[in-house]
Amino acid sequence: MLIEVRFVDQKESQRNSTAGLAAPSCQSELILREKHPLNLEAPMSSLESFITPTSNFYVRNHFDVPEIDAQEWKLSVAGDVERELSLTLEEILSMPQRKVVCTMECAGNSRIFLNGAKGLQWAAGAIGTAEWTGVPLLEVLNLAGIKSSAIEVVLEGADSGIPCDEPAITKPISFARSLTMEEALNADVLLAHSMNGEPLSALHGYPLRVIVPGYYGMASVKWLKSIHVSDSPFRGFYQSTDYAFLNTTHADGTRVAIKHSQVKSMLLHPHAGEVLKRGARYRVLGVAWAKGLIEKVEVSVDEEKSWAPARLLGDTLPNCWRFFEFDWSVPDVPGHRKISSRAFDSAGNAQPFEHDNDAGSYVINFVVPVAVTVE
Ligand X SMILES: Nc1nc2c(c(=O)[nH]1)N[C@H]1C(S)=C(S)[C@@H](COP(=O)(O)O)O[C@H]1N2
Whole-angstrom distance, CA of residue 41 vs CA of residue 20? 12
Q: Measured from the CB of residue 362, what is the shortest distance to Mo ion in angstroms?
A: 8
Confirm or reject binding of residue 62 to ligand X (CB under 6 A): yes
Nearer CB in complex with ligand X: 38/276 = 38
Which of 207, 213, 217, 360 binds Mo ion (CB under 5 A)? It is 217
Closest by Cα among 363, 308, 375, 306 to 337: 375
Name the segment binding ligand X (CB under 6 A); options: 26-34, 51-59, 69-77, 282-290: 51-59
| Residue 191 CB-density burial (10 A; 0-12 exposed, 13-18 middle, 19+ buried) | buried
Name the segment binding ligand X (CB under 6 A); options: 21-29, 47-55, 219-227, 313-321: 219-227
Confirm or reject binding of residue 159 to ligand X (CB under 6 A): yes
Nearer CB in complex with Mo ion: 218/276 = 218
Which of 40, 89, 218, 221 binds Mo ion (CB under 5 A)? It is 218
Which of 75, 100, 106, 212 binds ligand X (CB under 6 A)? It is 106
Residues 119-158 that bind ligand X (CB under 6 A): 157
Confirm or reject binding of residue 211 to ligand X (CB under 6 A): no
Nearer CB in complex with ligand X: 140/224 = 224
Whole-angstrom distance, CA of residue 117 vs CA of residue 134? 36
Confirm or reject binding of residue 258 to Mo ion (CB under 5 A): no
Name the segment binding Mo ion (CB under 5 A); options: 53-61, 81-89, 142-150, 196-204: 53-61
Confirm or reject binding of residue 215 to ligand X (CB under 6 A): no
Which of 31, 38, 60, 258 binds Mo ion (CB under 5 A)? It is 60
Which of 30, 138, 140, 221 binds ligand X (CB under 6 A)? It is 221
Residues 78-117 that bind Mo ion (CB under 5 A): 106
Amino acid present at 300: S
Q: Quick one: what does residue 345 bind among Mo ion, ligand X, none, with the CB cut-off 5 to 8 Å set by partner type?
A: none
Confirm or reject binding of residue 59 to ligand X (CB under 6 A): yes
Name the segment binding ligand X (CB under 6 A); options: 16-24, 217-225, 303-311, 328-336: 217-225
CB distance 157 to 225 below 8 Å: yes
Whole-angstrom distance, CA of residue 193 vs CA of residue 210? 9
Q: Measured from the CB of residue 279, what is the shortest distance to ligand X in angstroms?
A: 42
Q: Quick one: what does residue 57 bind among ligand X, Mo ion, none, with the CB cut-off 5 to 8 Å set by partner type?
A: ligand X
Q: Measured from the CB of residue 190, what is the shortest distance to Mo ion in angstroms?
A: 18
Q: Quick one: what does residue 234 bind among Mo ion, ligand X, none, with the CB cut-off 5 to 8 Å set by partner type?
A: none
Name the segment binding ligand X (CB under 6 A); options: 56-64, 135-143, 245-253, 337-345: 56-64
CB distance 151 to 184 below 8 Å: no
Whole-angstrom distance, CA of residue 28 vs CA of residue 43? 7
Confirm or reject binding of residue 342 to Mo ion (CB under 5 A): no
Confirm or reject binding of residue 58 to ligand X (CB under 6 A): yes
By the criterion CB under 5 A, which residues form the site for Mo ion? 60, 106, 217-218
By the criterion CB under 6 A, which residues form the site for ligand X? 57-62, 106, 157, 159, 175, 204, 217-218, 220-223
